[in-house]
Amino acid sequence: MRLHGLNWDAKKFIQTASDKANNGEPVHGIKFDLKSTDGMARRGAITTAHGVIQTPAFMPVGTAATVKTMRPESVAETGAEIILGNTYHLMLRPGAERIASLGGLHKFMNWPGPILTDSGGFQVMSLSELRKITEDGVRFRSHIDGSYHDLTPERSIEIQHLLDSNITMVLDECTPYPATEQQATDSMRLSMRWAARSKAAFQKRDGYGLFGIVQGGVYPSLRAESAKALSDIGFDGYAVGGLAVGEGREAMFATLDVTTPELPGDRPRYLMGVGKPEDLVGAVARGVDMFDCVLPTRSGRTGQAFTRRGQVNIRNARHKDDPRPLDEECTCPACTSYSRAYLHHLASSKEVLGLMLLSWHNLHYYQQLMSGIRAAIEAGTYADFMAAFEVEYGGGDIAPLD
For residues 140 and 102, membership in a common domain is answered with: yes
Does 347 lie in the same domain as 267? no
328 and 197 fall within a common domain: no
pLDDT at residue 214 tops 90: yes
Active-site option among 292, 322, 327, 397: 292
Tell me whether residue 3 is exposed, middle or buried, using C-beta atoms within 10 angstroms of its C-beta: 0 to 12, 13 to 18, 19 or more.
exposed
The Cα 226–Cα 216 span in angstroms is 7
- The CATH number that applies at residue 110 is 3.20.20.105
Range of the domain at 309: 300-393
Catalytic one of 118, 164, 289, 327: 118
Q: How many domains does the chain have?
A: 2
**Lowest mean pLDDT, pick from 4-13, 78-87, 94-103, 123-132:** 4-13
Q: Out of 258, 293, 328, pick the residue that ends a domain.
A: 293
Q: Is it the case that residue 113 has pLDDT exceeding 90?
A: yes
Angstrom distance (rounded) from CA 379 to CA 247: 33
399 occurs within a structural domain:
no
**Are 218 and 288 members of one domain?**
yes
Q: Return the half-sphere exposure (C-beta side, CA atoms, 13 A cut-off) of residue 7.
A: 8
For residues 320 and 340, give the distance between their C-alpha atoms in angstroms, rounded to a whole number. 7
292 part of the active site:
yes
- Is 25 part of a structural domain of the chain? no
Which of 273, 293, 313 terminates a domain? The answer is 293
Interhelix angle 277-284/352-379, nearest 10 degrees: 20
**Mean pLDDT, residues 161-189 taken together:** 97
pLDDT of residue 84: 98
86 and 224 co-located in one domain: yes
Above pLDDT 90, what percent of the chain?
A: 89
Task: Say whether both 119 and 177 belong to one domain.
Answer: yes
* Same domain membership, residue 255 and residue 331: no
Measure the CA–CA gap between 41 and 130, rounded to whole angstroms: 41
The mean per-residue pLDDT over the stretch 240-252 comes to 96
Per-residue model confidence (pLDDT) at position 27: 62
Residues near 181 by beta carbon (within 8 Å), at least 6 away in sequence: 217, 219, 222
Asked if residue 374 belongs to a domain, the reply is: yes
Task: Give the pLDDT confidence of 290-300 residue by residue, as tens digits.
Answer: 999 999 999 99
263-268 average pLDDT score: 98
Q: How confident is the model at residue 121 (pLDDT cuts 50, 70, 90)?
A: confident
Mean pLDDT of the chain: 93
Residues 195 and 278 in one domain: yes
In this structure, the answer to whether residues 42 and 183 fall within a common structural domain is yes
267, 293, 319 - which closes a domain: 293
* Over residues 162-177, mean pLDDT: 96
Phi, psi of 319 (to 5 degrees): -95, -10
Q: Are residues 145 and 273 in the same domain?
A: yes
Q: Are residues 144 and 186 in the same domain?
A: yes
**Distance from the first to the final alpha carbon of the chain:** 73
Q: Mean pLDDT over residues 126-152, rounded? A: 90
- Quick: pLDDT tens for 12-70: 434 444 444 445 666 679 999 999 999 999 999 999 999 999 999 999 999 999 999 99
In a domain, 62, yes or no: yes
How many beta carbons lie within 10 A of that of residue 118, not counting itself?
A: 32
Name the more confident of 365 and 9. 365
* 257 and 211 inside one domain: yes
292, 61 contact by CB (below 8 A): yes
Mean pLDDT, rounded, for 375-381: 98
